[in-house]
Amino acid sequence: MKLENLFGDFHENYLGNATHLSSGTQWAKVPSGRIPGIDIENRSLRSYIQIKSKFNSMNSSSAKRLAGELEELKRVNPSNTYGCGWVIAGPQRTAIGENYISEVAEVYKGKSLYSHVTGNLDEMDELIADFPSLLTEIKEESDFEALLDRATTRVISELERRAALRGYGIVEYLYNEAVG
C-alpha cells in the first residue's frame, strides 16, 4: 500500500507541476483539504482534477463521496471543469466509481489524463520511455543503499504497527492479510 501511495504521489507531483503546452499555463498541486476532492488545479484553464493511481483505487462509497464533492464544486462554479483521472486505466476498462463520476464531472484515463493536463498527446508514452533513465540518474545521485535501508525500516515499522493493532506478530499479520 505504501508503494502504491508513493506511486500516486509521483503522479500528483508530476502532473501538479506540469505546464499545459498549448496555453503555456501552469498546473499546481492543491494542498490536502484546501479544495475537497481535488488534487491538482490549473486556475487559468479553470480545470480541477482528482488523481487516482489505478482503476481500482476507490470503492463504491468513496466514489459516491467524490462524485458528491465534484458535483458541489460544479454547482458553486459552473464555468469550471472538474474531473477525476485514473493513471493506470485503459479507455476500454471501466474504473471503479467511474459511473458515479461521469454523471457529474469529466473522466480521464491513462494517456487522456496526461494529454489533458500537459496538452501533449504523447506525454505519458514519453514519461514511460524516460522513466528508467530518470531512476538511474536518481540512483547515481543518491546513496541507494541508505535509501533502501530507510525504506525497509519504514515498511517493517508499519507492519509492526499494524500487527500490534490486531494483537498479532508480523508473520501472523501478513498471513491473515494474504489468506484472510
Burial of residue 178 (CB within 10 Å: 0-12, 13-18, 19+) is: exposed
CA distances from 136 to 93, 139, 141 (A): 32, 5, 9
What pLDDT digit, counting tens, does each position of 108-157 carry? 998 999 999 999 999 988 988 887 887 777 667 667 677 667 777 877 88
Question: Whole-model pTM above 0.95?
Answer: no
pLDDT of res. 176: 79
pLDDT of res. 180: 60
CA distance 74 to 68: 10
63: domain CATH number is 3.40.1560
Question: Do 14 and 59 have their domain in common?
Answer: yes
Instruction: Measure CA 10 to chain center.
Output: 8
Residue 39 lies in a domain: yes
Residue numbers of the chain with a pLDDT score lower than 50? none
Comparing CA positions, the residue from 82, 84, 87, 83 lying closest to residue 55 is: 87
Question: Do 84 and 154 have their domain in common?
Answer: no
CA distance 152 to 173: 17
Total domains in the chain come to: 2
pLDDT of res. 142: 67
Contacts of 84 (CB under 8 A, 6+ apart): 49, 50, 51, 52, 66, 70, 97, 98, 101, 105, 106, 107, 108
pLDDT of res. 111: 92
CA distance 10 to 117: 15
SS3 96: coil
Residue 137 lies in a domain: no
pLDDT of res. 147: 67
pLDDT of res. 69: 97
Domain around 171: 142-179
